Structure 1
Amino acid sequence: MSAQSTFSQTPSYRVRLSSTKEVAAEEALVYEELKRTITLLETVVKTNAKEKIPRILRTTSKLRKTLSVAQLQQAVEQLLPSQNVSKPVLLALLAKIENKAQAAVNEAQASASKDQDVEMTDASSSEVEAGTSTPATVVLPVVDLIEVEIYLFLYVLAALMKYKLNQEALETVDKVVARCQQFNRRTLDLFQAKVFTYYSNIHEQFGHDLPAIRNTLLSAHRTACLRYDEAGQATLINLLLRNYLKDNMYEQAYKFVSKTTFPESVSNNQFVRYLYYVGKIQAVQLEYTESYTKLMQSIRKAPANTAFGFRRTVYKLAIIVQLLMGEVPERNVFNQDELRKALAPYLQLTNAVRVGNLEDFNVVLSQHGAVFKADNTYTLILRLRHNVIKTGLRKISTSYSRILFTDICEKLALENAQNAEFVCAKAIRDGVIDAVIDHENGWLQLKETVNVYTTNDPQTAFQRRITFCLDVHNEAVKAMRYPPDAYKKDLESAEERLEREKQEEELAKEIEDEMDEGL
């Protein structure tokens, strides 16, 4: 048996176990798990129990780490009938994957021996014996189901991506999509959604031709809507939004969001992605309040102990949006262990915006410009320049009753006094400061500061906090999980009780009749 796993060069149990018998026993357990999964899938298709399909997909991630190429080849040979058109395609692809994996292992071993320059020990020879063991003897029954065929293709597509078999991955995923579209079966919906995820990722990673697949995704979304396939709708909406955003087509993405409705009864992961994409679109469209709300919902609903990369990405965008709203993020956001290093440039940016120092802002922008561009937040950060100037002017207005434009130019690091006058005029128009420009004398005459507690600002801020708390409460209530048809238990017990009482009455009547006849 080949020592390479479909998704790792060496299965995890080969590292943990040294005995050939132990490895063989572990391989038999892995193959038995695959058999149970296929049996469950066959039962699901026959009984139309679609609610069990997510359980099958969850076991896929576990099997990826332990299932080897040889085991997958054996499964394809045993499961698919000889007349199946996809069987030779799968076997040919698995052969290429095995060759690629073996080449990667040989290269890694050569590199290790060159670096360490040590002799092979008995332990390494036992590993070789384990790598050449025979496949498990568990026999899988022949199953002529399109669901099983697509399920096997999912393993192959993931392996093609891992080993960078670009052309094979592009050709295979196109064939699998065409194969799925030949069938109209509700038990295939979740597998088809998974296939479209691979379709988008493979074309994005290897094809780099996003407009070419956009029509296919749009057509598939229309079909999913007509078939009431909510899982397919959610997946395809997110894939289309990602496709639009990769090409910076924010206007088209905004229109697409306004014309579609995201289904409610979908997985939490899809909903979290949707919230992030919509928040990013709204941020570009200057809808900062709505964008910040969506991003914070995405952070709260995302898994707490996993998906650290996703949470880092959302936090970066949320910090920029919060700064654009004129607010300063809390310090504990930057002090989280998994975020501290990634958010270090954004902490410096926040300090520059908070102080209102345009010179520090330009320094941060020049030092970390490459990081901001890689994070795709550079365009939004450029908008913060006006916020920095406004913050500086607001601080000047609280410190001076009258100040020359030349002094404002020096304090805000502007180019000249004329620019300072223009900036002050715009700030007065926007209501940032309450002042009068004296053009003849070249200064800014500031009016007396009004006590903020005499205005409606505290009431507005308090109302905003109350609304936020109520929204969090409503979302928590909606997110509570209840067993399906739990309310029917009481109804069923009542029906059973009535049936039992009816039977008891009939039995009592029969006994009474028998007694009358006896008398």
Structure 2
Amino acid sequence: MTPKAGETVVEKMEVDEVKPETQEKQEPVKDVNAIAVESIKEQLAALDKGEEHLVTRVLQVLPKTRKQLNDIVLHKLVSAHLSSDSQFGESLLKYLHYTPPPADTEVQPMDTTAPKSKSPKKAMKPVYSSPESDCYVRLLVLLHLYAQKKHAEALTLGEQQLTFIYNTDKRTLDGLAAKTLYFLCVIYEREGRLFDLQGFLNSRLRTATLRHFNESQAVLICWLLRCYLINRQYQSAAHLVSKVAFPENASNNDLARYMYYQGRIKALQLDYNSAAGYFLQAQRKAPQEGAIGFKQAVQKWVVVIGLLQGEIPDRSVFRQPIYRKCLAHYLDLSRGVRDGDVARFNHNLEQHKAEFEADDTLTLIVRLRQNVIKTAIKQISLAYSRIYIKDIAKKLYMTNETETEYIVAKAIADGAIDAVITSDVRDGPRYMQSSETADIYRTSEPQAHFDTRIRYCLELHNQAVKALRYPPKKKIAVETIEQAREREQQELEFAKELADEEEDDF
């Protein structure tokens, strides 16, 4: 039975619609290493121009560039980099443990029939790279060694980088020198030898101050302060802060670190109001994304300073994801201070003493015991109109009644409670007589809080004005002679049209 014409056409159409999968076009696989090499070469081309703002722009994307580094990318980059120093490539390739695969090359026979060229072309002079691009390539290799935890090789390369920068003595190399100094200090701290750099950092700070190298100056000040604080040299740190002038145009990261260290110094000097202001500025200057460890360290000090000032932190702070785990011990501490529970405070202090020592907040937390006792006395004065000193000692877990009486008297003298200590007879048992609670709005306390908020808002406004950035000035385009003639002709025609319109009106 022969099929009909219509059925044959339908079957053919159905067969034609089916396409094998092998005929589909596949997207080409992107070579991530090649893309990284080309991106870094564009950065090197910008650095070769020798302009300071371009160096700053390249260093701003350095965290993104670090994620693209590996032995293959760096080997291709160093091999293709043309430096004026003949030993530049060899000195860097020895740090990269990578052997490129042999290239497949075919030997072609010599063509004897080709005509010989009459006059050979003059050889082009090679264009060597700038010192900025050389330092940047060396910095990338240093970061790669640091990521692989090859600290000894990274220190050797970093010292070579600093020697080259200081011998070249160019202002555009200041940002690269600051980055190199930063990672050298990080490596020394990881190895526990940061104190060995103290003399070197002081000498480099003097040189950077005299030459007005702002970025290097900011990095050196921050690391000197960190070195002093790690070694418990608080007087030296305070003396350094009083003598140096931190650069105003420093980056926000360096400014946040400087504010954090200043807050720690002020807190240890019992100036809690100034310390709280510095910590708040450090939080505002910190990056919105990332720097989680720095934010956690600052928030721990903020909680402790707030407790020392008599302020209980909000529960929402402890519920944030980045603070939930690291502030768990401080949450228990805040509960003990809020409730005035001396026993709970002592238990938390003994249980988490090692964590507080690691955070360098143990010295301030020990001072909180007086605040806990004050809070407990305040609650006792509100709960009892009259209570004996020996009963107060029992509630505060104190064995000496005379010491308890002194503590209550100090709380009365400081204005924490409104009460008097008296006795019914001359040598009878002494007790605390509480006064009636007065209206707080009749005192000067609301005015003091309002003044503190106004000063904070003014400081915030001043910092915002200093942080303003204006767009670069656009270059005025110079018109050619033809454009000037055309513009004059248009102006003449426009003037004639206006004159004709005025004649028509009359």
TM superposition shift of 1:83 = 4.3
Q: Report what 2:390 is aligned to.
A: 406
Whole-angstrom distance in 2 between the partners of 1:338 and 1:27: 34
| Offset at residue 434 of structure 1 (A) | 3.8
Q: 1:86 Cα shift?
A: 4.4
Q: Kindly tell me: are residues 27 and 172 of structure 1, through their superposed partners in 2, closer, same or farther at Cα, counting changes over 3 Å?
A: closer
User: AA paired with 2:461?
Assistant: H
CA distance in 1, matches of 2:377, 2:183: 51
Question: Compared with structure 1, are the counterparts of its residues 143 and 88 closer, same or farther at alpha carbon in structure 2 (3 Å cutoff)?
Answer: same
Instruction: Report which of the two has the higher share of helix.
Output: 1
Give the deviation of 1:240 after TM superposition: 1.2
Find out whether 1:147 has 2:132 as its counterpart. Answer: yes
* 8 Å contact from structure 2 (residues 175, 215) kept in 1: yes
Aligned residues: 441
40, 44, 47: which one aligns with 1:34: 40
What is the letter of the counterpart of residue 269 of structure 1? N
Superposition pairs of residues 370-519 of structure 1, within 5 angstroms = 370-438=354-422, 440-448=427-435, 449-485=437-473, 504=488
SS at match of 2:431: strand
Offset at residue 271 of structure 1 (A): 1.2
Is 1:279 matched up with 2:263? Answer: yes
Pairing 1:209-248 to 2, within 5 Å after superposition: 209-248=193-232
Structure 1 partner of 2:175: 190
Where relative contact order (Cα < 8 A, 6+ residues apart) is larger, the structure is 1
Secondary structure at 1:339's aligned position in 2?
A: coil
Q: Are the equivalent residues in 2 in contact too, given 1:322–1:328 (CA < 8 A)?
A: yes
Q: Which of 158, 163, 172 is the aligned partner of 1:178?
A: 163
Which of 160, 163, 172 is the equivalent residue of 2:145?
Answer: 160
Report the identity percentage: 39
- What is the DSSP-based 3-state SS (H/G/I as helix, E as strand, rest coil) of the residue aligned with 1:432? coil
Whether the aligned pair in 1 keeps the contact of 2:422 and 2:433 (CA below 8 Å) is no
Partner residue, 2:110: none
Structure 2 matches for 1:19-418, cutoff 5 A?
22=29, 25-43=31-49, 45=50, 49-81=51-83, 83-95=85-97, 98=98, 143-206=128-191, 208-418=192-402
Tell me if structure 1 keeps the 8 A contact 2:37–2:76. Answer: no
Contact between 2:214 and 2:249, CA under 8 Å: does it hold in 1?
Answer: yes
Shift of 1:134: 7.0
Q: SS of the residue aligned with 2:95?
A: helix
Letter of the structure 1 residue corresponding to residue 65 of structure 2? L
Change (3 A) 1:453 1:83: closer
Letter in 1 for 2:135: I
| TM superposition score normalised by structure 1 | 0.77
- Give 1:476 shift: 2.9
Letter in 2 for 1:442: P
C-alpha separation in 1, matches of 2:156 and 2:348: 45
Task: Give the counterpart letter for 1:40 in structure 2.
Answer: A
Distance 2:306 2:258 in 1: 20
What is the root-mean-square deviation of aligned Cα atoms in Å? 3.2
Whether contact under 8 Å (1:295, 1:314) holds in the other structure is yes
Structure 2, unaligned runs of 5 or more = 1-25, 105-125, 493-506
Alignment CA distance shift 1:241-1:134 (3 Å): farther
Please give the alpha-carbon distance, in whole angstroms, between the structure 2 residues aligned to 1:438 and 1:183. 79
Amino acid of the structure 1 residue aligned with 2:180: V
What is the rounded CA distance, in whole Å, between the counterparts of 2:316 and 2:102 in structure 1?
Answer: 53
User: Match for 1:39: what amino acid?
Assistant: A
Residue identity matched to 1:232:
S
Indicate the SS of the match to 1:181: helix
Displacement of 1:67: 3.1
Paired with 2:265 and 2:305, the residues of 1 have a C-alpha distance of 12
Contact conserved, 2:47 with 2:130, CA < 8 A, in 1? no
How many angstroms does 1:85 deviate by? Answer: 4.5
The question of whether the paired residues in 2 share the 8 Å contact of 1:160 and 1:166 is answered with: yes
The Cα shift of 1:288 comes to 0.4
Q: Tell whether the 8 Å contact from 1:79 to 1:142 is kept in structure 2 after alignment.
A: no
Give the deviation of 1:325 after TM superposition. Answer: 1.0
By how many angstroms is 1:156 displaced?
Answer: 2.1
CA positional deviation for 1:427: 2.4
Confirm or deny: 8 A CA contact 2:422 2:431 kept in the other structure: yes
Question: Relative to 1, partners in 2 of residues 1:132 and 1:391: Cα closer, same or farther, differing over 3 Å?
Answer: farther
Larger radius of gyration between Structure 1 and Structure 2: 2
* Whole-Å separation in 2 of the counterparts to 1:427 and 1:280: 27
Question: Given the superposition, is the C-alpha separation of residues 361 and 142 from structure 1 closer, same or farther in structure 2, using an over 3 Å criterion?
Answer: farther
Letter in 2 for 1:33: S
